[in-house]
Structure 1
């Protein structure tokens, strides 16, 4: 059996996803008759550069250009029209997606990714601040969805300004997300608006499929003809822990958007002038719940606070608990209960924050073990997808003593496709965040591990082995979905199964979660016993001293 051909040169191997894609394209009926498709043997001749002046394949580019002309005519595109070859390449492509030659990331070939100009328009909205992340290469439909999710119906009046181009004027639509998403999908994207871009630019006839081998995600780094300093960098604020904490995330997100829109001009809790943004009094990254309550901090104060608590925060949270409201998630409750009364000043509040960070890291390592064992449906039950079924409204929303207050929150049942879209996106990002958390091999944190803790984790896995055949099949479906590199495809496939994820847990899930709680209770004991250790007592100014422990995940 002949060896598979190798691709790449000078130590730069082509990504396996891209090579698999090449083989798919080269053997697809759409590209039948492509001149010089294969070199001697079975190696695909993917590139036909214009600077090839001699040799057996010196005329390949000219012959392929003729092939593209004939293909354009066959699908009704005039070879004398503007951008005829790029339109042909996009129209005939069998999947409308391609992986990047360098990183393997799958991106759409349609015009779906916001340009710098569009993102600038979004940032100019009066209610947008730095806490609303601009996500690299986010699908336009996802961006619009996030805007509406965060800021409510006021976004609809801004969409015509955001999306307008010289060639496309958005219509007057009802303030309904489904109507806008349908128009964007059916009319706006096919119109190839100038403020959107495709995942890969056309490069026919130089490339077999008619597109640059490097997707937009890597062109600035991999293409020597593009100067990275001339390209705007994007920032992504993916708070990895937020998907694995309890609470009404819909209400919390909605209130955060209301703060940006209504109360941005309020003064800071620390006495500084605005504009202000919402600060979680109990940081989500430390395991505190999603609650519709925030304090207002100016940008410098919010940045300086980061994920540390102050004495004032701890006192406030204890007061909320006294009213029988849950402030911290199940996985962090035991440690909080052991040490919240030990906080007497800002230094001990920071000390507890550090303990909770290591508690978080230990939990994430355990969840990673469960994920690697394939028990994905069990993990999905932690995402509290049921909150997506409602939208919320606040009655008499106001700010008192720099903290949000309201008389009542109303939950209104949604009966639209947006519910599935939101659940699907939450599933995708949650599982991606779990993998991303361990993308870096070392961290300034450690996994708390003892024989007793490991025994409880093993008991969790044993309980999950008793899942029904239906749950096991769902585990396999989720694993197959996550193996796909395309965000668009992952969301589509999650939408098809998201209603199958159980909201009420089976007996073995109840047992597994209890064993997990038992494990985290033991983690809390170990961390609490370290209250006076140098790792947690040291001054905050020394926090840049890295105690890096190699993860063995």
Structure 2
């Protein structure tokens, strides 16, 4: 797991924390204080405290008469905020929570992005002024490559990742946030198909799916593959059992857990010296050699008239493929079964036996049987997880 960075909290932000916790608008928010009496400002959504606060935010939404649509929680956070501005945790600079700050995409950004229920006030602790420094995913070096979504590399997503990444750039040029209907962090493919959302709505959605999302995904699946091969088993077992939003959230949680297991298995195989096998069967560097152009892109619908792909021999395409492979392999290190005992808890005797057999096949150069046994192992993992759905 990535090491959490401990940051100093600016005095202005500490005063703000006290002001918020004592304000009537936040009365009754659960898990307000830690055992040592300090303010519990940060929780994780899936924890007991996070789920309790999520219910609290939903109650606030109902009190305000807001519909439970896209970005409902961020709209609720803005509606109850007593001042409409907050200081930055890092530098103490006070910024508005409204979309008034120009950005490089010729659109406007808020002083702080919504982050409820993870943050007590519903907003990220650092403001726009320090975001590029404190949000590691938004360092300038990463932002420059944002169109090439490294999350797709880290989650070993199938699909034409180069075309999808370049389509993301088209969205960003028009100040629109491209949203994966099927989140790649759950095992869905990185396809050149997105729906346009505001940044606030996309941030609020995160990797959660609704019942409507599932129905749309099932429709799209009739026309093209939507799930990466390593995650098809869990999707196929549960996709037709979803009947409401609660089921959809449960499916998403299990698919994310499945991804952790898949990446742990990939990490194990990489440590055993079989990186080439993984690259050959689960990565697609061949997509890097194309230059892509989208004709008549419509930012309102996220659709385009035609995608034109031109094969090239530029050095940058070769470097792009190498970077894609490098990041994909490096991302497996945090899933090492040797270093992370928590990741070993899900291993059953059957799974371990299967992995031992996969290694034997690979050591005898029988990649076909190794791949078959590995896919069979994914099915075993999925069946084990699917029992939690009911």
1:515 Cα deviation from its structure 2 partner? 1.2
State the shift of 1:301 in Å: 2.1
Contact 1:238/1:433 (CA < 8 Å) preserved in 2? Answer: no
Per-residue deviation, residues 432-475 of structure 1 (Å, max 9, x unmatched):
111134598477x87532222222212211111123xxxxxxxx
Q: 1:252 to 1:238 in 2, by over 3 A?
A: closer
Gaps of 5+ in 2: 1-101, 110-130
Aligned to 2:258: 359
Does the residue aligned with 1:245 lie in a helix, a strand or coil?
coil
TM normalised by structure 1 equals: 0.44
Q: Counterparts of 2:196 and 2:304 in 1: how far apart (Å)?
A: 15
After TM superposition, give the deviation of residue 290 of structure 1 in Å.
0.9
State the aligned residue count.
264
Aligned residue for 1:404, secondary structure, equals coil
The answer to which of 408-417 and 354-363 deviates more is 408-417
Would you say 1:306 and 2:206 are equivalent positions?
yes
CA distance in 2, matches of 1:330, 1:448: 21
2:292 to 392, 395, 400: 392
**Residues 452-463 of structure 1 aligned to structure 2 (within 5 Å):** 452-463=350-361
**Contact 2:105 / 2:172 at 8 angstroms: preserved in 1?**
no
Provide structure 1 residue ranges, at least 5 long, that are not aligned to the other structure. 1-121, 151-236, 265-275, 468-507, 533-553
| 2:217 matched residue in structure 1 | 317
CA deviation after TM superposition for structure 1 residue 300, in Å: 2.7
Distance 1:516 1:390 in 2: 31
Structure 1 residue 313, shift from structure 2 partner: 1.2
**Equivalent-residue separation in structure 2 for 1:446 and 1:303 (angstroms):** 31
Q: 1-side partners of 2:182 and 2:284: how far apart?
A: 19
Q: Deviations over 1:358-415 (max 9, x none)?
A: 111111111111011111111222221000011222233225xx64222332221011
| Aligned pairs for 1:61-72 within 5 A | none
2:325 aligned to 427, 437, 451, which one?
427
Answer whether contact 1:240 1:434 (CA < 8 A) is retained. no
| 1:378 is aligned to 2:277 | yes
- From 407, 412, 423, the equivalent of 2:310 is 412
CA distance in 1, matches of 2:361, 2:245: 42
Question: CA contact under 8 A between 2:355 and 2:374: conserved in structure 1?
Answer: yes
Distance 2:265 2:314 in 1: 36
The structural deviation recorded for 1:143 is 7.3
**1:278 corresponds to:** 178
Does structure 1 retain, via aligned residues, the 8 Å contact 2:267–2:335? no
Provide the secondary structure at the position in 1 that maps to 2:234: helix
In 1, the alpha carbon distance for the partners of 2:335 and 2:361 equals 26
Taking the TM superposition and a 5 Å limit, the aligned residue runs for 1:208-287 are 239=151, 242-262=154-174, 264=175, 276-287=176-187
Aligned counterparts of 1:133 and 1:527: Cα–Cα separation in 2: 31
CA distance in 2 between counterparts of 1:306 and 1:431 reads: 24
Q: State how 1:4-403 maps to structure 2 within 5 Å.
A: 124-126=104-106, 138=141, 146=145, 239=151, 242-262=154-174, 264=175, 276-323=176-223, 325-381=224-280, 382-399=282-299, 403=301
Larger CA Rg, structure 1 vs 2? 1
Q: Which TM-score applies when normalising by structure 2? A: 0.61
Aligned to 1:521: 379
The RMSD of aligned alpha carbons is 3.1
C-alpha displacement of 1:426? 1.3
1:239-294 deviation line (CA, Å, top 9, x unaligned): 376451211000110011100102x2xxxxxxxxxxx4111100000000011111
Aligned to 2:126: none
1:173 aligns to what? none
Distance 1:446 1:529, change over 3 A: farther
